[in-house]
Every structure is written in C-alpha cells, then in structure tokens.
A and B are shown apart, each in its own frame.
Chain A
Amino acid sequence: MHNLGYDAAHLLGAVVLLMSFALLYQRRLFALLHVFTLQALALAAVAAWQGYIQNSPHLYVTALLTLGLKAILIPVALRRIIVKLNIHRAIEPALGIGLTMVAGVSLVTLSILLVLPVTEDSAALTREDLALSLGVVLLGLLMMISRRNAVSQVVGFMSIENGLILAAVGVAGMPLVVEMAVAFSVMVAFIIFGIFLFHIRERFDTLDMQKIESFRGESH
C-alpha cells in the first residue's frame, strides 16, 4: 500500500511538471489556458492524494481551492478577457520547441542536483516532490522571461504559484496557513492582474509588453 501511495504521488507530481513543459511552447493563448487548466487539475489531484496518504484532511481543502480557483474560475475569467479584448487570434513569438526543451531540461536537472543532495534526511517522497516543484518554479520563471504578452506572463506567474503549492503539500504537516495564503494571494493577484490588463488595454490598445516598455519614466 505504501508503494502505491508513493508511486501515485510521484506520477501526479511529474504530470504537473510535464504541464509546465507544455506551457513553455504554446503559441496560442487559448491553448495556453487549456494546458494551465490541466496543470491545475493535476495539482488538485496531488493535493487530494497527499491528503489521503498523509491522513491530513486539511489538504483536501487545498485541493478544493485549487480545483475551484485555478482549474475553473481563473481560466474562465481569463478566457473572457481574451475574447473581450479580441486577442484570441494573436500568435506569440515564443521560443522554438527544441531550444525551450533544452533550457527546460537543464533547469529541471539543476533543481534535482540542488535539492536531492541537501535533503538526504527527509522522506524520499518529500525530497522528490521538492525537486519537482523547484523545477516547476524555474520553468515558470523561464516562461515569464520568454513571453511578452501580459496574459502569458500572468499564466507564467500562476504556474510558479502552482509549483509552490506542490512543494507545500509535499512536506508533511505543513500548517494550513501557508496554503491558504497562497490561494488567497493568487486570488488577489488575479484581481489586480485583471485590473491591469483592463487599464493597459485602455491606455495602449495592445497587450504587448515590449511596446509598453518604451514608456519609461525618464527619457534616456
């Protein structure tokens, strides 16, 4: 039974990481949202499964929050924004698939090399979850750097938060306060992002961050 618990947790964690890879090379905004939804679903499953094998019911709350907010509410809302702003046809110049994969694999290797040697005292599941989640965080960072569109940057930011939740549920007995905080902050962040997107649209008629970057506070 222990082995099944371990294997399933491992598999689900790996699915979250896999979705991060898939996020990296999506060029269309709707496709990006679909992959993000899948990642949130996998994350909710991780949280629920961890709640079951650790026998800590509060993780079910985390799972429900993830499911409700990240897999349903946020994708639906972002979809509406995209349709409303009429940018759903936009094709983004993301990095090439080959290059992205090389960069992503090296980041994941880095996180495994970083986490595994220092956590030898901890349970195997915890260590591996932590390595996976650091990978998700780094891939999210890579995505935020390589994307120019404001909506994709928001999705990148939220995938970083997914990585953090993956880490938090993997550590046995982590108090609820942190998970609540993450869920809460995602919600607030989303509201703010929404307001921003709206205002950015109003001011510049574009969501391309590169064009906005030229409005500097100071002429150089």
Chain B
Amino acid sequence: MSPVYAIVGLPLLSAALLALVSNYRLGAWLNCAASAATLAVSLLLFAVEPSADALFVVDALNIYLIVLTSFVGLTTSVFSATYIGHEIKTGKLKPLNLRFYHAMYQAFMFTMLLALSANNLGVMWVAVEGATLTTVLMVSLYRTAASIEAAWKYFILCGVGIALALFGTILMYLAAQPVMGPGMAAMTWTELLKHVPGINADILNLAFVFLLVGYGTKVGLAPLHAWLPDAHAEGPTPISAVLSGLLLNVALYAVLRFKMLLAVNGEALSPGPLMISMGLASLLLAGFMLYRRRDIKRFFAYSSIEHMGIITFAFGMGGPLANFAGLLHMAMHSLTKSAIFYAVGHVAQSRNTQAIDKIRGLTVSHPALGWGLLLGVVAIAGLPPFGIFMSEFLLVTSTFAREPLLAVPLTIGILIAFGALVLRVQQLCFGEPPEDAQPIHGSLVPLYAHLGLVLVAGIWLPGPLVAWFQTVAAILGG
C-alpha cells in the first residue's frame, strides 16, 4: 500500500483521538507524537516513489512540499507544547479550549496533506476549504473581540475566494469534459495532464483567472490580502507559524497545478503577466506597509505577504531559472518564517505584549532567543549566507537578464522591505531591556533547527532536491 494513505490517515485518526483526550499535557504530547509519526512515514516517500492512483498522486512537485509540511508540523507541535503551557498558566486558555485546539491542529494537518497529495481537483478543493474552516476556528480560539473580528474577516474573504475557486474548478471540468467524456477522469490531474493539449484554450483561460483570484485570496496576494495580518496577529502563535509557513504554500501549490495545465496546453494564454502584476503589487504594498506596523505579529504577517508576492512573481516570470528560484523560495520562506514566529511567540509571552515599541533589548535579556530572532530576520531579509539570499539572488539576476524593466520594481520592493526589517529588528534586539522581563519557558530547538536548515540550504543543496526542482521548473513552463 502506498505510504500516502498513512500520511493522510494518521493526522485524521489523531484528530479523532485528540478530541477525546481531556488532559491537555497528554494532548500536547500526543500531538507531537502524531506529527512525528506523520513525518517518519512521509520520509518513506523518498525510498518508495508510489505510482499515482485515482485518489493520490506523488510527483516531483509535491513530494518536497509533503515532507516540508510534515516537518514544520512536527516542529510547530513541539513549540506549541511549551507555548500552551504558558497560556494555561496565565489563564488565557482553558483546558477545554486546548482539547479542541489539538484536535483542530491535527485536522488542519490532515486537510493540508490531503490538498497536497490529492489527484482530484474536487478533492483538493474540499481539502483547501477544510483547511480554511479549521484555521478559522483556531484563530478565534481566544474569544476576544479582536480575535473574533479577525476570524470573521478571514472567513468571509476566504469563503468568497474559495467560492470563486470552485467556479474555476467547474469551468475546468467543463473544458475537459468534451475531450475526456463525463466522469471522474476529467477531474483527475494525471489524466488531465495527458489530454490537456486538446482542450479548448479559451475556457482554460477563463477558469485560470477564477482559480488564480480564488486560491490567490488564500495565498494573501494583494488586493485580497486583508484577512492575513489580522488572522496572524489574533490567533495563537503556533497557528500563525503554520498559516505563514504552510497554508500559504498549499494555496500557491494549487495555483501552480493549474498553471502547469496551461503550460502543457500550449494554446492557452500565458499566465505570466497576471501573476507578475499580482506578485509585484503584493511585494510593493507589503514593503511600504511594513514601516507602519506596531504589532510584532502583524509586522511579520506583512513580511509573509511580501514573500508570497516574490514567489508569485517568480512563477509568473517562468522559465527554468525563475521557476527554480520560486520553488526554493517557497521552502526557505516556510522554514524561516515559522522559525521567526516561534521566536515571536516566546518574546510575546516573556514581555506580555505584542507592541514593537515595548519590546527592547532582547539580546541582553534573553541572549539565545534574541540572537535567534536576529538571525531569523537576517535570513528573511535576504542576506547571505542563508537560503533566501540564494533564491532571491537567482530570481533578481535571471529577471535582469530577461526583463530588465521588471527587475527594477522587484529590486526596489525587496530593498524597501529590507530597510523596514533592519530598522525594526534593531529596536527589538538591542538597547536597554525593561526591568520586568520574565524568563522564557520551553526549548529553542525548533527555532534553531529551522535556521540551521536554511543556513545549510544557503551553502549546499542536496542533489535529489535540485533534481526535483529542475524537473518541476521545466514542466511549469514560461
């Protein structure tokens, strides 16, 4: 049996089990164990490459995303175990909330892994919808006025986005049905890829516009990004980490699947200009917005919009080099941003505030944490020797070589964001710490594990990873 069944089934079973566990410590421990088991099984994918069946497909595009998702799922569950202990102690959450939280965490992992591995357009849509519902519930976990407003906004905006994506999916089926006949085949990726050259290009174009806007809402692309900062700021920090690190990637993955169909079709319009303009708009908008943020979690949420803009731009440019840069950037951003949110979670708990103005001197009061946050921000700002430097460098140089005029706004956007990040991280990490800083609880292992991986990737990329990226970059087209 294909290991994919276990990868998708484990989180689902754990979600059901965790809903029954009333002790929150046991729940947190089981959550880690389930995530570790999922990661262990997903590593098996490297050994046996399962062939596609009607339900699941594992290919070069999603194999690394599946492993990345289960890895970040594990490290976040470790971080979450220490995070929630503190929230219980301060009385912000009750044990009953946590029982629900742990079940939802695994349900969320289930929907994301299902969306990544599904071989069917409809199943993938259902999974993305499920991911929206579970995260809405987790964002509103604190039941404060602000968190309910954030969850409402998230739900309304992403609900509309999801609806548009379904309309695009129906159009895609309508386009495929005359060629492939009615039935399941016309909604299966692997079958669609075989028959797509004969499909009516006009309907494909129309479908892609709906899919890009629909799933693009979940990616957080401007002008449909309004839900993202609120949802990140008001939910529990582990959820901010998986939202930024994983969910945005999953939504973008859905867009990429459809882009692949358009590229193979040949006659359809090139999605490049659309994706480039949405990407640039997000990058520039988020870059400027970064300067005005006073809440540390909103600050890094805008940074996520900026990076999703860069990645969308990269796939819009297309071609082997830019696609490669985009794929690498997806992985690097996911690792770095979740590491930053781990650090931010500890910071917010030890200082009991999320206001940037009130957080100073982290490297003095908590050296390990402060330097970890500093390193994370250095990495996300795109400085060498971290992996993001490599992907941004690749993207900027390849854009300069092909479309110098487009490279100018891209570089400006990256530099604007860089300035904001450097400015704020100085305030956060240096200076005189306040008297009442409390010691942090919990380990910094997840934080440094992620930073270590990003550092290694900046210096040396393993051979198989490069091979997958190159295969996918070739299929994704220009």
> Which A residues fall within an 8 A CB radius of B?
114-115, 117-119, 121-122, 126, 130, 133-134, 137, 141, 144, 150, 153, 157, 160-161, 163-164, 167-168, 171-175, 177-178, 181-182, 184-185, 188-189, 192, 196, 199-200, 203-204, 209, 212-213, 215-219
Those 8 A-B pairs whose CB atoms lie nearest each other, nearest first: A173-B182, A118-B202, A177-B122, A181-B126, A217-B233, A178-B122, A215-B145, A160-B163
For B295, the chain A residues whose CB sits under 8 A away are: 217-218
Complex: how many Å from CA A182 to CA B169?
12
Q: Is the CB of A192 within 8 A of B233?
A: no
Q: Is the CB of B183 within 8 A of A173?
A: yes
Closest to B163 in A: A160
Complex: how many Å from CA A218 to CA B178?
52
Q: List 18 A-B contacts (CB under 8 A).
A: A118-B206, A119-B202, A121-B178, A122-B174, A130-B171, A133-B167, A171-B173, A173-B186, A175-B187, A177-B122, A177-B187, A178-B125, A181-B126, A188-B133, A200-B148, A200-B152, A203-B148, A216-B230
Contact among B125, B133, B186 for A192, CB-based, below 8 A: B133
Q: Mark contacts of B264-280 with chain A using CB atoms, 8 A cut-off: 1 yes-contact digit, 0 otherwise.
A: 00000000000000000
Q: Is the CB of B184 within 8 A of A119?
A: no
Instruction: Indicate whether B386 reaches chain A with its CB closer than 8 angstroms.
Output: no
Q: Is the CB of A178 within 8 A of B182?
A: no
Complex: how many Å from CA A204 to CA B206?
42
Instruction: Indicate whether B10 reaches chain A with its CB closer than 8 angstroms.
Output: no
Q: Is the CB of A164 within 8 A of B170?
A: yes
Complex: how many Å from CA A193 to CA B235?
18
Instruction: Indicate whether B129 reaches chain A with its CB closer than 8 angstroms.
Output: yes
For B122, the chain A residues whose CB sits under 8 A away are: 175, 177-178, 181
For A188, the chain B residues whose CB sits under 8 A away are: 133
Closest to A173 in B: B182
For B151, the chain A residues whose CB sits under 8 A away are: 196
Interface stretch, picked from B153-161, B425-433, B460-468, is B153-161
Q: Is the CB of B203 within 8 A of A119?
A: yes
Contacts A178-B170, A182-B166, A212-B149; A218 near B294 (Cβ below 8 A): yes
For B137, the chain A residues whose CB sits under 8 A away are: 192
For A168, the chain B residues whose CB sits under 8 A away are: 170
In the assembled complex, the CB of A148 is this many whole angstroms from the nearest CB of chain B, namely 12
Complex: how many Å from CA A30 to CA B241?
42
Instruction: Indicate whether B82 reaches chain A with its CB closer than 8 angstroms.
Output: no
Q: Is the CB of A157 within 8 A of B177?
A: no
Instruction: Indicate whether B298 reaches chain A with its CB closer than 8 angstroms.
Output: yes
Q: Is the CB of A161 within 8 A of B136?
A: no
Task: Give me 18 other A-B pairs in contact (C-beta within 8 A), A171-B173, A172-B177 excluded.
Answer: A118-B206, A133-B167, A134-B167, A137-B167, A144-B156, A157-B160, A157-B163, A167-B167, A171-B177, A172-B182, A175-B183, A175-B184, A177-B123, A178-B187, A181-B126, A182-B166, A196-B151, A216-B149
Q: Is the CB of A181 within 8 A of B160?
A: no
Complex: how many Å from CA A204 to CA B156?
19
Q: Is the CB of B200 within 8 A of A174?
A: no
Complex: how many Å from CA A209 to CA B151?
13
Contacts A171-B170, A196-B152; A217 near B146 (Cβ below 8 A): yes
Q: Is the CB of B136 within 8 A of A177?
A: no
Instruction: Indicate whether B86 reaches chain A with its CB closer than 8 angstroms.
Output: no
For B234, the chain A residues whose CB sits under 8 A away are: 217
Closest to A167 in B: B170
Contacts A119-B203, A164-B167; A217 near B145 (Cβ below 8 A): no
